[in-house]
Structure 1
Amino acid sequence: MEIRGFAVGLLLALSATLLVDAQPADVRSRYIHFLTQHVYGGMNTNKCSKVIGQRHITEGNTNNCKEINTFILATHEQVRAVCSDGGTPKGRNLYESTKPFAVVICKRKPGASCVYNGKRSTRTIIVACDRGWPVHYQEDNLFCRPGQIGSATNWY
């Protein structure tokens, strides 16, 4: 009987934990879309065209190639933390990461159809969050260490 009582208690505790961390149904598709477009820990600069094609990343609800797409080299959990203790509120539903992330910025080659050049960088990221879940990549800021001069303006 003691084992059964312990098992029931454990099951209730786990269920409560899942409910607290449960993702709202209306956020799920936006979160998955965000992950597909922007989170890939194994990304590198040579994979831009291939990954963008495989993931069917396009401009809005069209089949047009995006001009630029940024991939965050991190886990889902690391990026999600930006919406809580790993980020600073920037107004509305935007949060900026407190720590920089490695990113790969894929930029479409001029005159080319869905062919991209990639560049690796280190940046703080700004994401839109809905109830603790990242749902939109807003922008990023070039990360400069103290004493280092730099700006993200016109930088690719």
Structure 2
Amino acid sequence: MRIVFAGLLLLSATVLSQDANVLRRYRNFIARHVGQVSRDRCDHEMGRRRLTKSSDSNLCRDTNTFIGDSAGRINLICGGAGAPYGGNFTRSLQPFPITICNLKNENARQPHCQYRGRADTRYLVIQCEQGYPVHFERDIV
């Protein structure tokens, strides 16, 4: 009986840990990609969100895509508003407004990052876990 209980306790801890990891990745996705950003505000928004090449670097991120819609609407892609796309990804069934910010000054470091923004409307390809978007893969026409 004790072994069964210990096993259930361990399994519960593992599930909770996995859930916490998915929620952390979801919050990171939201912080990195969700929000209305005009193409002439890329410098400001990339700096405000502290988006760099990696979490332990101050090198400017080469590119970032902002999705100009609500997190709730984007979440729907992981349900009925999305379709399987390639291996692990889901494609939105509807296009979304996006702003793509591309670095102009290669190898720059924060706070000297300068971006060129481009606005468009595209379908999204994202990775979903447990019904949440956790990774932006790309946009498609």
State the shift of 1:60 in Å.
2.7
Match of 1:90 in 2: 85
The alignment's TM-score, normalised by the length of structure 1, stands at: 0.71
Match of 1:17 in 2: none
2:77 maps to a residue whose letter is V
Query: Does the 8 Å contact 2:98/2:122 carry over to 1?
Result: yes
Match of 1:5 in 2: none
State the shift of 1:111 in Å.
4.2
Alpha-carbon distance in structure 1 between the residues aligned to 2:79 and 2:52:
29
Deviations 1:29-66 (CA, angstroms, capped at 9, x unpaired) = 111111111000x3111110101101011113332211
Query: Does the 8 Å contact 2:65/2:98 carry over to 1?
Result: yes
**Identity of matched residues, %:** 33
**Largest Rg, 1 or 2:** 1
Match of 1:38 in 2: 33
Aligned residues: 119
CA RMSD in angstroms comes to: 1.7
Alpha-carbon distance in structure 2 between the residues aligned to 1:37 and 1:29:
12
Which of structure 1's runs of 4+ aligned residues deviate more than 3 A?
A: none
Match of 2:43 in 1: 49
State the shift of 1:112 in Å.
7.3
SS in 1 for 2:51: coil
Alpha-carbon distance in structure 1 between the residues aligned to 2:25 and 2:107:
29
Alpha-carbon distance in structure 2 between the residues aligned to 1:85 and 1:111:
40
Say if 2:64 is the partner of 1:65. no
1:29 to 16, 24, 27: 24
Alpha-carbon distance in structure 1 between the residues aligned to 2:66 and 2:84:
22
Alpha-carbon distance in structure 2 between the residues aligned to 1:55 and 1:82:
24
State the shift of 1:26 in Å.
2.0
The alignment's TM-score, normalised by the length of structure 2, stands at: 0.79
After TM superposition, the structure 1 stretch with the greater mean CA deviation from structure 2, 129-138 or 59-68, is: 59-68
Query: Does the 8 Å contact 1:108/1:117 carry over to 2?
Result: yes
Alpha-carbon distance in structure 2 between the residues aligned to 1:120 and 1:112:
24
Query: Does the 8 Å contact 1:93/1:130 carry over to 2?
Result: no
Alpha-carbon distance in structure 1 between the residues aligned to 2:39 and 2:124:
18
Say if 2:127 is the partner of 1:133. no
Question: Larger RCO: Structure 1 or Structure 2 (Cα < 8 Å, ≥ 6 residues apart)?
Answer: 2
Match of 1:149 in 2: none
Alpha-carbon distance in structure 2 between the residues aligned to 1:48 and 1:56:
12
State the shift of 1:140 in Å.
0.7
Structure 2 runs not aligned, ≥5 long: 1-18
